Every structure is written in structure tokens, then in C-alpha cells.
A = this chain, B = another copy of it.
Amino acid sequence: MLEQNELKKAGLKVTLPRVKILEIIESNPDWHMSAEDVYKELLNRGDDVGLATVYRVLTQFEAADILKRHQFEGGKSVFELISKGDHDHLVCIKTGLVEEFHDPVIQERVAAIAEQHGFDLTDYSLVIYGISDQAKNKKK
């Protein structure tokens, strides 16, 4: 139900693939999923959706401001719900673990720097790379 409203609001026809993909992403709010991840999840659920459609739908959702695309390192794009709100990311280079944080001081500095350089701020990307506690404990 909820998905249908979101889709209509975005001017997207309510189709099975779109509803299913949105369901999957909304049911994994802590997981930054790639197109491949979503595709596999669909297969797991027995839903028959082509990989090309997953890519198309994710791109449409990004354009509709339902999802935000991130690159991190490693070539592949990952997506997360915009409704989760503003935040940046910490990525563990050993485990791939992704954590989120929100820092007003940084946001303020970013806005100030953009202005100083004569840029109309559109967006910014901040990713902190490091080795998480978990990864360190495993090593011992």
C-alpha cells in the first residue's frame, strides 16, 4: 500500500517490479544494496525480474528522490532510502561494514567552503575509510 503511494507520488506507474524492488529496499533499511544484491534478493523470493529492469528501476528511483546512489570504493553503485535522512558514511576496508553518522559542524564547513569558492552547493560526498573494531578483533 505504502509503496503504491510513493510510486504514484513520483509519477511512476505502479508495476510489479517497481513495487517488489521498493519492498526489498524498505525491508533492509540498514543494508546499502547494489543492483546485483537487489536482483539476488528478488530471485530468493521467487520473483522473476530481469537484472536490466533492476538497473532501470533503481535509476528511476534515484531520479525521483526515493533513493540516493553512493559509489564507495569498488566500482559498483549502492543505494539507500533518502527517507532515512541526511548522513555520511564510515566504511570498514576489511569487512565492508558501513556505518552512518551525522555531523553538523562538517555540513556547515562544507557550505562555507562552497560559498568561498563561488560554488552553488548541490551535494557533497564524505566517506571515512578505516578498520573497524570488529575487524581488529578478528585479527587477534
Residue numbers of A with Cβ under 8 A of B are 71, 73, 90, 92-93, 99, 101, 103, 105-106, 109-110, 113-114, 116-133, 136
B-side contacts of A123, CB under 8 Å: 129-130
B113 touches A122 (CB 8 A): no
B124 touches A126 (CB 8 A): yes
Q: Which of B93, B113, B127, B131 contacts A128 (CB 8 A)?
A: B113
A96 CB to nearest B CB, Å? 13
11 contacts between A and B (CB under 8 A): A71-B71, A90-B113, A92-B119, A101-B113, A110-B128, A113-B128, A118-B132, A118-B133, A122-B129, A122-B131, A124-B128
In the complex, the 10 A-B pairs of residues with the closest C-beta atoms, listed nearest first:
A119-B130, A118-B133, A120-B131, A124-B128, A123-B129, A121-B130, A126-B126, A122-B129, A122-B130, A125-B127
B-side contacts of A132, CB under 8 Å: 117-119
A125 CB to nearest B CB, Å? 5
Q: For the complex, what is the distance from the CA of A90 to the CA of B116, rounded to whole Å?
A: 11
CB within 8 Å for A117 and B131 given contacts A109-B103, A125-B125, A126-B125 = no
B103 touches A90 (CB 8 A): no
Q: Which of B93, B110, B121 contacts A122 (CB 8 A)?
A: B93
